[in-house]
């Protein structure tokens, strides 16, 4: 039995959900998100509650049960609060700034890196050493943050690079004489 799947998804005030076939659409103050469930689960919308139940006792049905519940919970969280990833830049001369909706990164390369965020994601740089990625789709927010971090991952000797806020970077000792 799925411990996660058994728990119903609560709909806060201001959020509505509708099911058509295997697609559930969640509308809230920040926007609209939809999720296509597999045929292994049944979706039901009650009064301020969404319940997910497996169809059958197969292993795949049990796997999809918990996963579907989590995806629907992420849709509800996205349209109410949204998701946010914070990145820090460390290194002499490394900085970020916004020019319109393009993020301009100076990362010690021979050229500046220009990154344009996809639709549905907002990228801001409140300080030169800080980047904030926000949106209603958790997967997209995480992917954009990972793409930005990819340009200069933190290196283990001096710790220079782009890291998630609060990320621990394992440091190595340098060469000795």
| Distance (Å, whole) CA 148 – CA 122 | 13
Residue 169 lies in a domain: no
110 and 132 belong to one structural domain: yes
- pLDDT, residue 5, reads 86
DSSP the chain: --HHHHSPEE--TT-EEEEETTEEEEEETTEEEEEE--TTEEEEE-SSEEEEEESSS-HHHHHHHHHHHHHHHHHHHHHHT-EEEEEEEESTT-EEEEETTEEEEE-SSSS-EEEEPPTTEEEEEEETTEEEEEES-HHHHHHHHHHHHHTSPPPTTT--EEEETT-----------
Residue in the structure block whose two tokens are 């700034």: 97
- pLDDT, residue 47, reads 87
Mark which of 54, 80, 106 sits at the end of a domain.
80
Residue 172 lies in a domain: no
Does the pTM exceed 0.85?
A: yes
118 and 130 belong to one structural domain: yes
Question: At 149, is the pLDDT very low, low, confident or very high (cuts 50, 70, 90)?
Answer: very high
Identify the CA nearest to 96 among candidates 164, 141, 87. 87
Structural domain boundaries, residue 52: 3-80
For the chain, percent of residues with pLDDT exceeding 70: 99
Is the pLDDT at 150 greater than 90, yes or no?
Answer: yes
Mean pLDDT score of the chain, rounded to an integer? 92
Is the pLDDT at 2 greater than 90, yes or no?
Answer: no
How much is the average pLDDT of 113-117?
Answer: 93
Is the pLDDT at 160 greater than 90, yes or no?
Answer: yes
- Say how far residue 177 (Cα) sits from the centre of its chain: 45
Question: At 166, is the pLDDT very low, low, confident or very high (cuts 50, 70, 90)?
Answer: very high
| Distance (Å, whole) CA 13 – CA 87 | 32
- pLDDT, residue 1, reads 61
Mark which of 15, 45, 80 sits at the end of a domain.
80
Quote the number of domains for the chain: 2
CATH of the domain at 68: 3.90.930.12
16 and 60 belong to one structural domain: yes
Question: At 139, is the pLDDT very low, low, confident or very high (cuts 50, 70, 90)?
Answer: very high
Mark which of 80, 114, 134 sits at the end of a domain.
80
- pLDDT, residue 175, reads 87
Q: pLDDT digits over 23-62, tens only?
A: 999 999 999 999 999 999 999 998 899 999 999 889 999 8
């Amino acid at each position: 039995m799925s411990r996660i799947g058994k728990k119903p998804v609560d709909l806060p005030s201001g959020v509505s959900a509708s099911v058509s076939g295997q697609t559930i659409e969640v509308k809230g103050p920040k926007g609209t998100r939809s999720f296509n469930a597999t045929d292994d689960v049944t979706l039901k919308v009650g009064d301020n509650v969404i319940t997910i139940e497996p169809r059958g006792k197969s292993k795949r049905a049990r796997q999809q049960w918990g996963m579907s519940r989590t995806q629907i919970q992420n849709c509800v969280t996205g349209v109410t609060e949204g998701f946010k990833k914070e990145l820090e830049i460390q290194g002499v001369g490394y900085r970020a700034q916004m020019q319109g909706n393009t993020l301009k990164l100076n990362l010690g390369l021979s050229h500046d890196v220009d990154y344009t965020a996809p639709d549905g994601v907002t990228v801001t740089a409140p300080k030169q050493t800080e980047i904030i990625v926000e949106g209603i789709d958790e997967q997209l927010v995480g992917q954009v943050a990972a793409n930005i971090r990819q340009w200069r991952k933190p290196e283990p000797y001096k710790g220079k690079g782009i890291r998630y806020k609060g990320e621990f970077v394992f440091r190595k000792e340098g060469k000795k004489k």
